[in-house]
Amino acid sequence: MVMVCVVLVMLGLLVARMYQLQVVEHDIYTTLSDKNRVQVQSVAPPRGLVYDRNDELLAENRPVFGVTLVPERVDGMEETLAQLEALLDIPEEDMERFQRRLREPRRPFQPIPLRYDLNEEEIASLAVHRHELPGVEVSAELVRYYPHSELTAHALGFVGRINREELQRIDPVNYAGTNYIGKSGIERFYEDLLHGQVGYQHVETNARGRTLRVLERQNPVPGEDIQLHLDLRLQRLAHELLDGRRGAIVAIEPDTGGLLALASVPGFDANQFVTGISVADYRALSTDIDKPLFNRALRGQYPPGSTMKPMLAVAALDSGATTRDKTIWDPGYFQLNTGGRRYRDWKRGGHGWVDLTDAVAQSCDIYFYEIAVEMGVDTMYDYLSKFGFGEDAALDVSGALSGLLPSRDWKRAVRSEPWYPGDSVNLGIGQGFMLATPLQLATATSLIANRGHWVEPRLLKSIKGDRSTEEFLPPGGHSPLELKNPDDWEFVVDAMAEVMHGTKGTARGAARGASYRMAGKTGTAQVFSLAEDEEYEEEDVRERLRDHALFVGFAPVDDPQIAVAIIVENGGGGSSTAAPVARAMFDAWLQDFPGEEKALVSGTGSGGAIDAE
């Protein structure tokens, strides 16, 4: 009887425990079971596409196969990695990146990428050994691809794998499942717009972690597609015109501020950086003497030389330092004091009697030496800052530098010296301490083309959706440059037209035969300084120490459609090297890209003598 009672008690306890597990704690154990069976996976959103102004695709997404590991499902991480290294070629930097991400905080069951861009043989090898590699998956993902990579690398920038510093600042929820982020250029500036919103899916898995089916899915929101002002045809032409040389071309639509071309040559293949560039390839790029990774259009800071003279002419007229009719005698040199240092003119023997129009057209240094001393550094600084020098005036161009607009305070702070009159003399021809980027020169030229109306440079033209560009473009902060006599704008524009069409204009050869009128200014910037009585002989100077060739201009004169700034490093004279490049750009844009736009590039189409400036 006692045994029967014991059995009944034990049976009762067993029934009670079964009741507690099956009824009372049913929800708890169902949840625990589902956690073993159902996993929540993040779904990365497709990145928004980028188009040029004519709807040519500049940045797209293509599927790439990669291998990922889910640490929670891997049986022995070291052994698994050793086995994968035997099956795949895994670069050392990829393995180091994987080990680093393995140690960093992350969501449970979040896959960690190990290798990207697997080929068919590698995919097949992993498939054969799949049963030996729990937690290892071959997955397809959309990866950024630039079909015109070298042409657009400096303008668009590129995306790359998210690094440790970026992990600290991004939203870990929205970037769950995303391995890439904008690193530079447009890709970085509009990251929030292009990235989109992450999605999720609940999937049923077996005991080995393999996905059996999708139970529920919340689709990701793709990033917005954007259209740029950039014109791929003009961008391609700019690269062709500079092919074999080092330099930059920036073209702006004055009316909108849209950047039509933003070319830095030589360029590089941005696709190399997307899934991770190898150490050897990066070393080859970073040690290349031509610096293909350096964005000359935005970050190249050069002495602007005589391309500053139109801006200084505006400043001199408005400040009263000169008049339209004032003439000076140019003997070929300028002296602050009798018997003092001689500041030379580029033309040996000088230009004789010149007024302001002649000084711009013939690029007379002596005239600008005199008005620079008359204005002084404070006046020149005030006006040149209103042209956008000394700052990054662009709205959405990531990484642009501000150049150097020297002032009295700057020199005292940096050099611990006062500002000397000789410093003003050098600033009067865009030399000395003054540095400007091609983007700044194009911006200032566009301001002249607009007769003082400010429109900040921008790349974004529209968003291909319901969102407004004003939502993402920073507001412009520049007021119009208003002159005491607004007609002074037309006077300076006419002087720049004389550069191109005048009988003594320094770029008259480049404008010969044009069906439209253009305005411009040539420039030549020294790479190294000459002694007072030393003459510059190009053939005696090593190529990388030769003068830089510059040009700024716009066309047509009466209704500007395009403004350009061009620099050809160590190219020699601006009139012989840079001006023909500008003419080809003008012809292409204004004449709808005629087939003969390259005829003037070598100078063979100039049809006349070209002066040194």
Give the residue numbers annotated as catalytic, written as ranges.
Answer: 306
SS3 159: strand
Distance from C-alpha of 380 to C-alpha of 405, rounded to nearest angstrom? 10
Distance from C-alpha of 82 to C-alpha of 434, rounded to nearest angstrom? 58
The structure tokens 């507690």 sit at 20
Distance from C-alpha of 549 to C-alpha of 525, rounded to nearest angstrom? 7
Say if residues 566 and 550 touch (Cβ distance below 8 Å): yes
Structure tokens at 118: 């697997």
Beta bridge partners of 211: 205
* 5 known member of a binding site: no
Angle at 520 between CA 517 and CA 526, to 5 degrees: 160
The structure tokens 């997307």 sit at 274
* 378 known member of a binding site: no
Task: Using only the alpha carbons of the chain, give its radius of gyration.
Answer: 32
Taking CA atoms, 508 is separated from 117, 192, 494, 498, 504, in Å, by: 54, 48, 14, 8, 7
Say if residues 195 and 20 touch (Cβ distance below 8 Å): no
Distance from C-alpha of 20 to C-alpha of 39, rounded to nearest angstrom? 27
Structure tokens at 552: 């700024």
* 548 known member of a binding site: no
Angle between helices 92-103 and 77-87 (to 10 degrees): 160
The DSSP element (H or E) to which 137 belongs, if any, is: strand 136-145
Which string of DSSP letters, residue by residue, matches 244-280?
TS-EEEEEEETTTTEEEEEEEES---THHHHS---HH
Q: What amino acid is encoded at 312 in this protein? A: L
* 364 known member of a binding site: yes
The structure tokens 């000397």 sit at 420
Distance from C-alpha of 118 to C-alpha of 124, rounded to nearest angstrom? 10
Among 180, 167, 399, 166, smallest CA distance to 273 is for 180
Mode of pairing for the β-strands spanning 226-228 and 50-51: parallel
Distance from C-alpha of 314 to C-alpha of 519, rounded to nearest angstrom? 15
What are the two backbone dihedrals, phi and then psi, of residue 161, each rounded to the nearest 5 degrees?
-65, 145
Say if residues 444 and 383 touch (Cβ distance below 8 Å): no
Helices (H) and strands (E) in the chain, counts: 22, 20
Taking CA atoms, 5 is separated from 11, 12, 14, 150, in Å, by: 10, 10, 14, 88
The structure tokens 């990579």 sit at 149
Say if residues 196 and 190 touch (Cβ distance below 8 Å): no
Taking CA atoms, 441 is separated from 214, 250, 372, in Å, by: 57, 9, 19
Binding region: 330, 345, 351, 364
Binding region for Zn(2+): 330, 345, 351, 364
